[in-house]
Chain A
Amino acid sequence: MIMNNIERLRSTFAPALVGVIALSAAIASVVAVLCMGAGGWLVALGAFAVAGGAAAMWLADRTGPMTRIVTSAALAVEVAILVYATSGHAFQIDMHMYFFAALAITAGWVDERALIANATVVALHHLILNFALPWAVFPEETSDLPRVLIHAGILVAQTLALCWLAARLRQAFAEAEVMQARAEDATHSAADLAASEGRRAEGEVRRRSDFQETISGFQREIGGLIEGLRAQSRRMSQTSQSLTSVAASASRDAEQAADSSQASSGAIGAVAAATEQLTHSVAEIQAQIGGMKTIIDKVHGAAANAQGDVGQLTGQANRISEVVAIIQNIAGQTNLLALNATIEAARAGEMGKGFAVVANEVKVLADQTGKATEDIAQRISAINSSTRSTVGAMEEIARHIDEASLCAGGIVSSIDQQRVATGEIAANISHVAERTRQVSDLSRRASEQTRSADQSTRSVAETAVQAETATDGLSKSIEAFLRRLA
């Protein structure tokens, strides 16, 4: 909150007035206790109560209107208590001067309401005494209204004068604040103007400084460029000299290159002939590999036929096994019949002896047949085993023949690609031979042009010298111009 001047004055005045009230209460209490005896303590209590109330009002409301009214009225009451405490004493009439002093003190609030409150308490106090206790106002006689009116007139005159003064003072404070605000505005405007002028001057100085820096920078940059130009001219001169020697060397190299190209052209022709022979050889190899592949294919067919024959052989052996099994069965049944015949012969007794011999012979033959068929079965089983391993070997042979056939096919295609590549090589070598002849011609032409470049390089060297001289002149002109500009 911004406090204006009048508020500052009141803030300073308020504690002082509360102090005056407290001091008045203390004086009135001392006087009352000393002069009035037992009743004086009651008076002292009242004086301090009024002072305490005023202080509490100040603490709660600070410099508000209520504080101004209460403290002004409280000061008048303290004066009334002091006058009452001096009753019967010669100083009582002198203490009445304090009423006017108190009214003047309350003018410190710069508030008509405070002055009126103080005057009202004084008037009320004396009116009460005039009508209730007239001897307290005029102890020597009874109530005298004209004298009361005279006193009231004086009080009203002082109050009005102080009110007018307070109003004028408040107005003066307000005008001073307005003037102060205007002065502050003017100060701010002047400060803004000064700051603006300062910024403009700073900008001007900065601009001049920037201009000087730009010129210096330009001078440095141009100096650097001219130095670079000089160096470039010198380097160009040196380069042209070295170019001259290089051109001579290049001319010699070109002539040697022409000679070498011519020699290369002959060598390349021999290579082309050899390549042609290689092409024919490759075609021959391809034809022979093709024949070998045909033979491998035929072998593959024969192996396949043999594999089929072995399969049929296996089938036949299996069928022989079946026949052998039938023979073995017949031999078993024959053996059984021989046993039965032997039994029947034994039953027939003497008549059956011959039949028994025959039956025994049949039995022996059946046993031999069974053994022979077992031998045949074992052999057939061995044949089958051999046939199976033969079939496996034939399959292995057939697989290898397939692989050989595939390899032969791959060789044929590779040789075909080789033949094509050899043909391309032969064509390229002829092309290279043609190019080599062209290179030889170009080398001779380059040799002639190099000699021409040698002459041009000498001309460039002379031009570089002239450019260096012109750069010196340009540098001097720019320095003179910049000196005039700065």
Chain B
Amino acid sequence: MIFSPENHDRRASALPKFLFGANLLLILCALLATAILPGVGAKTFIVIPRPFGPDAATIVAQARGVLVRSGMWGAMLARGTEPDFLARLYGNGALMVLDGRTLQGCAS
């Protein structure tokens, strides 16, 4: 039966296991995020555009930044000197902005 006590106990014991796995995944994502999200004072950024939105070059241009190089899936490496450059990138249609030094680290 669907609502038998055995099923209820099984669901009750399955919930902590699910939460345990979800928490581990969340912690891993948070650790990676601290590594790849741009910190304070960052100058170069990897701009990932939204699907069906303006391309990365347009976003960087409207944010008054400088294109450094192009990447996969429409992402581009850009550089900006103004303090609110990161906010302008998100404001002009960026899906996610990563720290540009990540790419440099990978290159090294």
A35 to B40, CA, bound (A): 7
A38 touches B37 (CB 8 A): no
A87 touches B102 (CB 8 A): no
B86 touches A38 (CB 8 A): yes
With contact pairs A37-B86, A53-B26 given, residues A132 and B31 touching in the complex (Cβ less than 8 Å): no
The residue from A42, A60, A89, A132 contacting B102, defined by CB atoms under 8 A apart: A132
B16 touches A88 (CB 8 A): no
On chain A, the residues within 8 Å of B83 by CB distance are 37
On chain A, the residues within 8 Å of B38 by CB distance are 39
CB-CB contacts of B79-102 with A at 8 A, as 1s and 0s? 000011011001100000101011
B90 nearest in chain A by CB position = A38
On chain B, the residues within 8 Å of A60 by CB distance are 15-16, 19
**Residues B2-44 near A (CB distance < 8 A):** 15-17, 19-20, 22-24, 26-27, 29-41
A57 nearest in chain B by CB position = B19
How many whole Å from A475's CB to the nearest CB in chain B? Answer: 83
CB-CB contacts of A27-52 with B at 8 A, as 1s and 0s? 00000000111110011001101100
A116 contacts the other chain (CB 8 A): no
On chain A, the residues within 8 Å of B106 by CB distance are 132
On chain B, the residues within 8 Å of A57 by CB distance are 16, 19-20, 23
Stretch in contact with the other chain, from A76-84, A178-186, A330-338? A76-84
B71 contacts the other chain (CB 8 A): no
A133 touches B101 (CB 8 A): yes
On chain B, the residues within 8 Å of A74 by CB distance are 23, 27
CB-CB contacts of A104-136 with B at 8 A, as 1s and 0s? 000000000000000001001100110011111
With contact pairs A87-B40, A133-B105 given, residues A53 and B22 touching in the complex (Cβ less than 8 Å): yes
How many whole Å from B55's CB to the nearest CB in chain A? Answer: 20
A38 touches B41 (CB 8 A): no
With contact pairs A50-B26, A53-B26 given, residues A42 and B37 touching in the complex (Cβ less than 8 Å): yes
A46 to B99, CA, bound (A): 17
A61 nearest in chain B by CB position = B16
- For the A-B complex, the count of residue pairs with Cβ-Cβ distances under 8 Å equals 109
A57 to B15, CA, bound (A): 9
A80 touches B105 (CB 8 A): no
A87 to B41, CA, bound (A): 8
On chain B, the residues within 8 Å of A53 by CB distance are 19, 22-23, 26-27
On chain B, the residues within 8 Å of A132 by CB distance are 35-36, 102, 105-106
How many whole Å from A92's CB to the nearest CB in chain B? Answer: 9
How many whole Å from B100's CB to the nearest CB in chain A? Answer: 11
A43 to B37, CA, bound (A): 9
A50 touches B27 (CB 8 A): yes
On chain A, the residues within 8 Å of B33 by CB distance are 42-43, 46
B23 touches A37 (CB 8 A): no
**Residues A127-152 near B (CB distance < 8 A):** 128-129, 132-136
A362 contacts the other chain (CB 8 A): no
B35 touches A88 (CB 8 A): no
Interface magnitude class on chain A? 35 or more
B88 nearest in chain A by CB position = A38
A37 touches B22 (CB 8 A): no
B15 nearest in chain A by CB position = A60
On chain B, the residues within 8 Å of A129 by CB distance are 34-35
On chain A, the residues within 8 Å of B22 by CB distance are 53
A66 contacts the other chain (CB 8 A): yes
A128 touches B31 (CB 8 A): yes
How many whole Å from A130's CB to the nearest CB in chain B? Answer: 10
B101 touches A66 (CB 8 A): no
A289 to B35, CA, bound (A): 160
The residue from A36, A39, A81, A134 contacting B30, defined by CB atoms under 8 A apart: A81
A67 to B20, CA, bound (A): 8
A56 touches B40 (CB 8 A): no
On chain B, the residues within 8 Å of A54 by CB distance are 23
How many whole Å from A64's CB to the nearest CB in chain B? Answer: 7
On chain A, the residues within 8 Å of B97 by CB distance are 39
On chain B, the residues within 8 Å of A136 by CB distance are 35, 39
A81 touches B102 (CB 8 A): no
How many whole Å from B42's CB to the nearest CB in chain A? Answer: 9
How many whole Å from A26's CB to the nearest CB in chain B? Answer: 16
A70 contacts the other chain (CB 8 A): yes
How many whole Å from B15's CB to the nearest CB in chain A? Answer: 5
**Across chains A and B, which 8 residue pairs bring their CB atoms closest together, nearest first?**
A38-B87, A87-B39, A88-B40, A61-B16, A84-B34, A88-B41, A66-B20, A70-B23
Q: CB within 8 Å of A: which residues of B?
A: 15-17, 19-20, 22-24, 26-27, 29-41, 83-84, 86-87, 90-91, 97, 99, 101-102, 105-106
Query: Could you list 14 further interchain pairs (A-B, Cβ under 8 angstroms) beyond the known A46-B30, A50-B23, A66-B17?
Result: A37-B87, A38-B84, A38-B86, A39-B97, A46-B29, A50-B26, A61-B19, A66-B20, A69-B20, A70-B19, A70-B24, A80-B34, A87-B41, A124-B31
A-B contact pairs, 26 of them (CB 8 A): A37-B87, A38-B84, A39-B90, A47-B30, A50-B27, A53-B22, A53-B27, A57-B19, A61-B19, A61-B20, A66-B20, A70-B20, A70-B24, A73-B27, A74-B27, A77-B31, A80-B30, A84-B34, A87-B39, A88-B41, A124-B31, A125-B31, A129-B35, A133-B101, A136-B35, A136-B39
